[in-house]
Amino acid sequence: MKANQYREKTIEELQREDKNLREQLLRLRFQNIAGSEENPQKKKLFRRDIARIRTILREKQGPAGQAPQESKS
């Protein structure tokens, strides 16, 4: 998925997606150990998507992992 599509999602949706991708990556690692991995390129794609999601989560949460505060004008 593209970064712009992830940016449209809420923090909760991104956290769920991150958890889901990490679980899928873990399954792929087990398949690799068992020797039944179908597409070794999938691991690379999952790692990139996880990195995109975590980057966008940091952007949305603001400095020090806190939710960004709205400016009072």
pLDDT tens, the chain, 73 aa long: 788 888 889 999 999 999 999 999 999 888 888 887 678 788 899 999 999 999 999 998 887 656 555 545 4
Cα–Cα distance for residue pair 4/13, rounded to 1 Å: 14
| Type of residue numbered 52 | R
Please tell me whether residue 52 adopts helix, strand or coil conformation: helix
Structure tokens, 64: 């020090």
Cα–Cα distance for residue pair 28/63, rounded to 1 Å: 33
Domain 3-59 CATH assignment equals 1.10.287: yes
Single pTM value for the model: 0.75
Cα–Cα distance for residue pair 18/52, rounded to 1 Å: 9
What are the backbone angles phi and psi of residue 50, rounded to the nearest 5°? Answer: -60, -45
Query: Tell me, what's the pLDDT at 70?
Result: 53
